[in-house]
Amino acid sequence: MESFIEEVRGRLSTASRVTVLTGAGISADSGIPTFRGPEGLWKNFRAEDLATPEAFERDPKLVWEWYNWRRELIAAKEPNPAHRALVKIESGMEARQGRFRLLTQNVDGLHGRAGSRNVIELHGNIWKVRCTGCGTVTEDRRVPIPIPPHCASCGKMLRPHIVWFGESLDPRDMDRAVEALENCDVMLVIGTSGVVQPAATFASTARGAGAFVVEINPDASSSAAQIALRGRAAEIVPQLV
Ligand code: NAD
Ligand code: ZN
């Protein structure tokens, strides 16, 4: 393990372009449950049955109640050493004119709070709402949000500004992500199960374009990685700086 960590540290220190993909696992060390972990359940509902456009159409109040529960849970949490280590890697890259891109599937906003700058939030942000009528996106940090919330300009119902299961990513985010994957020397894949598309294919895209892919996860996930560092993000990522 120690020699693998040394190798990754060495590669990061000479890379000119680094791309990182993070998933719920990096925030698990901040105390935010992953969807598939034992604490991912809410009132016996699975996240996959609530984070969908069909669920919102059927019962918007139920979906908003679930988001209020998640907002309350996330509001109390702080970035952990893994989030902070990524900020250090980014600053180090910038100091030597390198390029750093952080793609995250997380909606908790913890990368931004830690100080990361080049973040693409592929699945949106739990602190933003979008009008189902006029499409306006606004920040709304109320916990709880009064249910159901309505748009200040057109009066239609608001929904979380989140990419739900079955919905497509913003094409501009997708383009930026693919560009970052096809043009990196090193890719870190941290705390993602690789079952949610399209992020699941990101590691092989980078590997196919010649990147050295490193996975950090306590369990096996991405088969595209040359090196798998088995362990918790908050323990492993700081050692890569
Ligand atoms: P996932 O729940 O499917 O998988 C989490 C992965 O993290 C697993 O592979 C697990 O082995 C790993 N993991 C668990 N603890 C870890 C740790 N301490 N360090 C490193 N890895 C650890 O999550 P996903 O693949 O990110 O995708 C599920 C979807 O859930 C995403 O769309 C995301 O938007 C959403 N989600 C977001 C949050 C958040 O914003 N914090 C939380 C839960 C789910
Ligand atoms: Zn509106």
**88 & 59 share domain:** no
Strands (E), 132-207: 137-139, 158-162, 186-190
Ligand having the closest approach to the CA of 52: 1
Which are the catalytic amino acids?
Answer: 123
Please indicate, yes or no, whether residues 118 and 177 belong to a single structural domain of this protein: yes
Residue 231 sits in the same domain as residue 130: no
Q: Residues 119, 175: one domain?
A: yes
> Which of 20, 27, 30, 35 has most ligand 1 atoms within 8 Å of CB, for mutation?
35
What are the C-alpha distances in Å from 187 to residues 48, 65, 83, 93, 181? 28, 37, 16, 14, 8
> Residues 185, 233: one domain?
yes
Give the residue among 135, 124, 126, 175 at the shortest CA–CA distance from 157: 135
Residuewise pLDDT in 10s, the chain (241 residues):
889 999 999 999 999 999 999 999 999 999 999 988 777 888 889 998 999 999 999 999 999 999 999 999 999 999 999 999 999 999 999 999 999 999 999 999 999 999 999 999 999 999 999 999 999 999 999 999 999 999 999 999 999 999 999 999 999 999 999 999 999 999 999 999 877 777 779 999 999 999 999 999 999 776 789 999 999 999 999 999 9
Give the strands of the sheet with 99-104, arranged side by side: 119-121, 99-104, 17-22, 186-190, 212-216, 227-229
Q: How far is the CA of 194 from the centre of ligand 1 (A)?
A: 9
Residue list, CB under 5 A from ion ligand 2? 131, 133-134, 151, 154, 156
Domain shared by 151 and 230, yes or no: no
| Domain around 88 | 2-32+78-123+169-240
What span, in angstroms and rounded, lies between the C-alpha atoms of 56 and 30? 28
Q: Does 139 lie in the same domain as 56?
A: yes
Instruction: Judge whether 199 and 103 are in contact, CB under 8 Å.
Output: yes
> How crowded is the C-beta side of 45, counted as CA atoms within 13 Å?
15
Number of domains in the chain: 2
Among residues 31, 27, 180, 32, which one has the least CA distance to residue 111?
27
Residues in contact with 113: Cβ distance below 8 Å, sequence separation at least 6, in sequence order: 78, 79, 83
**In 10 A of CB 122, how many CB atoms?**
24
Q: Omega into 160 within 30° of 0, i.e. cis? A: no
Length of the chain counted residue by residue? 241
Check whether residue 139 and residue 221 sit in a common domain.
Answer: no
CA distances from 153 to 25, 166, 239 (A): 37, 28, 49
Instruction: Supply the pLDDT for residue 222.
Output: 64
Of 114, 139, 162, which one is at a domain's C-terminal end? 162
CA–CA separation, 193 vs 191, rounded Å? 7
> What pTM was estimated for this model as a whole?
0.96
Probe residue for ligand 1, chosen from 22, 26, 32, 34 as the CB with the greatest number of ligand atoms within 8 Å: 34
Give the separation between CA 132 and CA 160, rounded to whole angstroms. Answer: 10
